[in-house]
C-alpha cells in the first residue's frame, strides 16, 4: 500500500531542520524569484549555495531566517510549519539561527565587543558569564585589539569579521552566511571557513551563499546551485554528477 503523501511530507519535515515543500517566492507582483523548491537540510549538514547574481541566493536565505515569506508552498523549520506557527513562536525560531549578512548590519552605538555579545545579552545571559568566550571569539577572527572600538572606525574586512563573530557567538543550530568571505583576504577566509567547520562539528547545520569557487573546491562540501529560480544539488568536488535536490540532503 502506498504511503499517505501528507503523512510522508510531515515525516520528512520532522527529520530535517529545514524543509521546503513546493515553495515559491516573489517580490510584490513581479515574477517568481524562486519556483517550486522541494528540498530539505539534514541536521548537521554543510552546504554551499551558488548561482549567478540575481539567481535568488539571498532570497533563499531570507526565507530560512524568516525575513520573507513564501508566496506559495510550505516551509518547515525544526519540524515546525512556519505558516501555522503562532506569532510568539517565531522569535524563538529565529534565535536558533545565526546569520552573517552581506551588508554587515551592525549597531553603531555599541562597541565591537558589545556587538559580538548582543545575541547573548538578548538571550538573558550576564556579561560575567560570557566575557571570556566573546573575547576568545574576537581573538579568533583577528579583532582582539579592536574590542573597544566602534563600528564606524572599522575597515570593511573588520566589519565582516565582527558580523561573523556575532552570528556564531551563541552556537546557533543553523548558521546562514551570505558571501561571508567577500571582504577578507585569503588567509582570513580560510580561518573563517575553519570556524564554520568547527561549529558544524558541534552540530550546527551550515548553509553558505558564495561566489568563491576556490573555497568551494577546497572544502569538499556539496553545492546547491540556483538557476532559473530552481535548485539542484551538486556533489562535493570530485564526486559523482549532481541531481535535482529532493528529499533529505
**Is 246 a residue whose pLDDT tops 60?**
no
Query: Which pLDDT value is given to residue 242?
Result: 43
Asked if 71 and 245 touch (Cβ cutoff 8 Å), the reply is no
Mean pLDDT to the nearest integer, 1-14:
52
**Angle 177-206-247 (CA atoms, 0-180°, nearest 5)?**
120
- Dihedral, CA of residue 71, residue 97, residue 107 and residue 125, to nearest 10: 140
- Gap between the Cα atoms of 193 and 191, Å rounded: 5
User: 74 or 8, which is more confident?
Assistant: 74
Burial of 101 by CB count in 10 Å (0-12 exposed, 13-18 middle, 19+ buried)? buried
Angle of helix 156-168 versus helix 127-140 axis, rounded to 10: 130
Structural domain boundaries of the chain?
A: 108-161
Asked if 57 and 51 touch (Cβ cutoff 8 Å), the reply is yes
Mean pLDDT to the nearest integer, 85-96:
89
Q: What is the pLDDT of residues 16-69, one digit of tens each?
A: 999 999 999 999 888 899 999 999 999 999 999 999 888 899 999 999 999 999
Q: What is the DSSP string of 150-184?
A: -GGGS-HHHHHHHHHHHHHTT--SEEEEESTTTTS
Asked if 208 and 49 touch (Cβ cutoff 8 Å), the reply is yes
Query: Which pLDDT value is given to residue 103?
Result: 75
State the pTM of this model. Answer: 0.83
Asked if 142 and 164 touch (Cβ cutoff 8 Å), the reply is no
- Gap between the Cα atoms of 56 and 36, Å rounded: 13
213 phi/psi in degrees, rounded to 5: -70, -30
Burial of 136 by CB count in 10 Å (0-12 exposed, 13-18 middle, 19+ buried)? exposed
Q: Three-state SS for 207?
A: strand
User: pLDDT band at 107, cuts 50/70/90?
Assistant: very high
Query: Which pLDDT value is given to residue 11?
Result: 54
Query: Which pLDDT value is given to residue 193?
Result: 87
Phi-psi region of 75 (alpha: psi -120 to 50; beta: other; left: phi over 0): beta
Mean pLDDT to the nearest integer, 144-158:
93
Q: Which helix (H) or strand (E) holds 129?
A: helix 127-140
Maximum mean pLDDT: which of 63-72, 87-96, 97-106, 195-204: 63-72
Q: What is the pLDDT of residues 215-240, one digit of tens each?
A: 888 888 999 999 988 987 666 665 54
Amino acid at each position: 500500500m502506498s504511503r499517505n503523501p501528507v503523512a510522508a511530507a510531515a515525516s520528512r519535515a520532522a527529520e530535517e531542520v529545514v524543509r521546503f515543500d513546493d515553495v515559491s517566492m516573489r517580490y510584490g507582483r513581479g515574477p517568481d524569484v524562486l519556483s517550486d523548491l522541494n528540498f530539505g537540510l539534514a541536521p548537521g549538514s554543510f552546504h554551499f549555495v551558488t548561482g549567478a547574481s540575481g539567481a535568488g541566493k539571498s532570497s533563499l536565505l531570507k526565507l530560512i531566517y524568516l525575513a520573507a515569506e513564501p508566496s506559495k508552498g510550505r516551509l518547515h523549520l525544526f519540524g515546525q510549519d512556519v505558516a501555522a506557527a503562532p506569532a510568539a513562536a517565531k522569535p524563538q525560531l529565529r534565535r536558533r539561527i545565526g546569520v552573517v549578512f552581506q551588508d554587515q548590519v551592525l549597531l553603531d552605538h555599541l562597541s565591537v565587543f558589545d556587538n559580538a555579545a548582543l545575541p547573548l545579552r538578548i538571550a538573558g545571559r550576564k556579561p560575567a558569564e560570557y566575557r571570556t568566550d566573546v573575547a576568545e571569539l574576537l581573538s579568533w577572527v583577528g579583532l582582539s585589539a579592536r574590542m573597544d572600538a566602534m563600528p564606524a572606525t572599522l575597515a570593511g574586512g573588520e566589519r565582516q569579521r565582527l558580523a561573523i563573530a556575532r552570528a556564531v557567538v551563541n552556537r546557533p543550530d543553523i548558521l546562514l552566511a551570505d558571501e561571508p568571505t567577500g571582504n577578507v583576504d585569503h588567509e582570513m577566509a580560510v580561518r573563517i571557513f575553519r570556524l564554520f567547520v568547527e561549529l558544524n562539528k558541534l552540530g550546527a547545520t551550515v548553509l553558505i551563499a558564495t561566489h568563491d569557487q576556490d573555497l568551494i573546491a577546497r572544502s569538499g562540501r556539496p553545492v546547491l546551485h540556483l538557476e532559473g529560480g530552481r535548485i539542484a544539488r551538486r556533489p562535493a568536488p570530485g564526486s559523482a554528477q549532481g541531481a535535482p535536490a529532493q528529499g533529505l540532503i
